[in-house]
Amino acid sequence: MSEAPRNLAGFLLERSRLSSQDAAILHRVDGGWKTISYGQLESRAMDVARGLFSMGVEAGTPVMVMARTTEQWLLVAWASAILGAVLVPVHYTLSEADFKDMAGRVRPGFLFLGDPGLLVRMRNSVKSISCPIGIMETRCVLGDAPSGARPYLRMEDVVSNREEAVSLAQIESLGADVRQKSRVEELGLSRPGDAPALVIFTAGTLGEQKGAVLTHDNVLYQARTLSFLLPVGRDDVQLVFLPFSHILGIIAFLTSVAAGAPMALGGGMRSLLEDLRDVRPTFMVGVPRVYEKIVEKLKAGTSDYSIVWWEVYRRGIKAGQDVIEGRPRGRLFDMAAKLQLDLARRTVFQRCREIFGGRMRFLISGGAPLPVEVAHTVNAFGIPLLDGFGLTEASGATHLNRPEGPRVGTVGAPLPMVQTRIAEDGEVLLRGPGIMAGYLNDRDATMAAVDQDGWLHTGDLGALDPDGYLKITGRKKNIIVTSSGKNILPSKIESLLATIPLVSHAFVQGDGKPFLVALVTVSPSRLEEWAARKSIPAEATEKLRSDIRLYKDIEGEVERVNQQLAPYERIRKFAILDADFSTETGELTHDFKVRRRIVADKYRDVMQTLYKERF
């Protein structure tokens, strides 16, 4: 038996030769779906690699990519692997300041931008980068084109001269004309397993942006392990809509390649339900907010149920929780609960499963805490929702619940060869094949994150149950110290506030203050549901965030949460914000975690008012 490839070039080329005629990528074209086979992907990527090689890209060259999740992104990634280049993906919506900072640290040998509009937005920043620039898509749709104007922007409209930028199509065409195939293949195939493959920027364990350097061994361990554990095969179809600038998106892609399974590139949250219907995937990776939104959509759809079927739905959810929670502890299943669950799954839950496409085998959640209510709801439908845990610094997942028995409330058992230890102060420490090589050009930060014995200090607090399942309880560094000297984990309280049905996000503050205050948000969909229950006209819902009736309802729920907390942890005052947190307005990261500093700065006046008001 031949040895498995130790680098991405060998890994990808082996897959294309084993599955040459099999579908690799499905992507939307003119309202339909087009298929690219593994053989076609290799052939095109080889041409792009030759073109890039003729433009100066070699083994070890940083190739920076700032683009949406598209088939062109994967083409560039595959070509970079063939060359043995180091791929540096960054978020498409990155600010100019962050882009300049990252580019200055990386010093890319080639920069790819997603479309002409991005070149327009980043023109001042890219002037400081002395490397060739490639544009993946030669035109982009304009959302606010003036009347009579062309509704899209072309590359030739924004590129002032040939030296400024070149299209991906031109690079591919250039590569088709050169004859350096053997030389190009040798570059990537000769890379050792411990050579850098990716640099992914993350706030990670230190709370500020650092470039985590991941090796070929790191990411191949992830792909092969996950495709085996889940398990995934050639008959599976994965729907991918996460950004490839996030480690979750990259590992999702490589897991499909490891299994030889096709991957459908969705259009994001806006077209998620349509993509699920069209593709009918068998598995999907997402962040918790994705599943929350789907569950909200399903709950809204229950409004047209009769009283009988609504009761079947409600009891089915409760029965599902009883059955699933009974499994890990070895209790005998309660027969009544099992019968209720079976009835719901044969009837109303069948409709719920259809929203996922009708073929979904399992779902994976990562990147942020998964609400227990959401996990129980989806599991009750008959689709295992597997919560996991990991970090960019660990090249993705380190813990994952398994399809045969998810343990809700935990992030699962460790992956093979991953060691977990809880430090004396409660911090989760990890060691294993996925731990990064270090932070880019930052030895001090690397030593602070990974100790001499190879343990990664995650910055997360957690606990292990007797079977080795990990539960995350908070963040080590996000500690509030009140004026009375009490150390408080805001994440613990925020998680409890997030269980309030009306609340979509919660932010707790009180550092140096005598008591804690909270900011809460209510999403439009939850506001509409509440208004419907109160028989309030739909057109008035957007004004309701300042309605005393909404405040009183949430106040009652906050008091319920307070009863679960120590006196010094209780929320004394709270405010309902005028809008929900979002990535567009900057309060959330791209994996939907709250940016604490941004929220604290943005709503400083609101919190000061809460402290000034008298009881």
Convert the pLDDT of each residue in 530-576 to its tens digit: 888 888 876 655 677 888 888 999 999 999 999 988 788 899 999 99
Alpha carbon distance 42, 17 (integer Å): 9
Convert the pLDDT of each residue in 429-485 to its tens digit: 999 999 999 999 999 999 999 999 999 999 888 999 999 999 998 777 777 877 666
Q: What is the predicted pLDDT for the residue at 520? A: 94
Least confident of 154-168, 189-203, 371-385: 154-168
Q: What is the predicted pLDDT for the residue at 401? A: 96
Q: What is the predicted pLDDT for the residue at 148? A: 63
Highest mean pLDDT among 294-303, 418-427, 483-492: 418-427
Confidence of residue 611 (pLDDT cuts 50, 70, 90): confident
Alpha carbon distance 540, 227 (integer Å): 49
335-346 helix and 307-326 helix, angle to the nearest 10 degrees: 130
Over 80: is that where the pLDDT of 150 sits? no
- Give the pLDDT mean for 154-171: 85
Q: pTM score, two decimals?
A: 0.81
What is the residue-averaged pLDDT of the chain? 88
Q: What is the predicted pLDDT for the residue at 1? A: 44
Q: What is the predicted pLDDT for the residue at 485? A: 63
- Which amino acid would we find at residue 207? G
Least confident of 27-36, 192-201, 261-270, 476-485: 476-485
Confidence of residue 96 (pLDDT cuts 50, 70, 90): confident
Higher pLDDT, 207 or 583: 583
Contact at 8 Å (CB) between 298 and 352?
yes
Confidence of residue 329 (pLDDT cuts 50, 70, 90): very low
- Give the pLDDT mean for 111-122: 93
Confidence of residue 285 (pLDDT cuts 50, 70, 90): very high
Alpha carbon distance 291, 363 (integer Å): 9
Over 90: is that where the pLDDT of 367 sits? no
The closest of 405, 595, 564, 578 to 499, measured between CA atoms, is: 564
Over 50: is that where the pLDDT of 175 sits? yes
Q: What is the predicted pLDDT for the residue at 208? A: 65
Least confident of 22-36, 116-130, 296-310: 296-310
Run of H or E including 176: helix 168-177
Indicate left, alpha or beta for 260 from its phi (over 0: left) and psi (-120 to 50: alpha).
Answer: left
Confidence of residue 146 (pLDDT cuts 50, 70, 90): low
Contact at 8 Å (CB) between 264 and 275?
yes
Q: What is the predicted pLDDT for the residue at 539? A: 61
- Which amino acid would we find at residue 566? A
Over 70: is that where the pLDDT of 333 sits? no
Contact at 8 Å (CB) between 470 and 411?
yes
Alpha carbon distance 241, 289 (integer Å): 13
Q: What is the predicted pLDDT for the residue at 167? A: 95
Alpha carbon distance 48, 252 (integer Å): 23
Confidence of residue 181 (pLDDT cuts 50, 70, 90): low
Confidence of residue 239 (pLDDT cuts 50, 70, 90): very high
Task: Provide, rounded to the nearest whole percent, the portion of the chain with pLDDT above 70.
Answer: 93
Q: What is the predicted pLDDT for the residue at 14? A: 95
Q: What is the predicted pLDDT for the residue at 330? A: 46
Highest mean pLDDT among 176-185, 206-215, 511-520, 551-560: 551-560
Convert the pLDDT of each residue in 418-437 to its tens digit: 999 999 989 999 999 999 99
Domains of the chain (ranges; CATH) run: 8-191 (3.40.50.980), 283-475 (3.40.50.12780), 480-612 (3.30.300.30)
- Give the pLDDT mean for 23-49: 94
- Which amino acid would we find at residue 449? A
3-state secondary structure 170-230: HHHHHHHHCCCHHHHHHHHHCCCCCCEEEEEEECHHHCCCEEEEEEHHHHHHHHHHHHHHC
DSSP 340-396: HHHHHHHTHHHHHHHTTTS---EEEE-SSPPPHHHHHHHHHHT--EEEEEEEGGGTE
Contact at 8 Å (CB) between 88 and 134?
no
Q: What is the predicted pLDDT for the residue at 615? A: 42
Structure-block tokens of residue 18: 């084993």
Q: What is the predicted pLDDT for the residue at 484? A: 64
Confidence of residue 92 (pLDDT cuts 50, 70, 90): confident
Over 70: is that where the pLDDT of 331 sits? no
Q: What is the predicted pLDDT for the residue at 593? A: 76
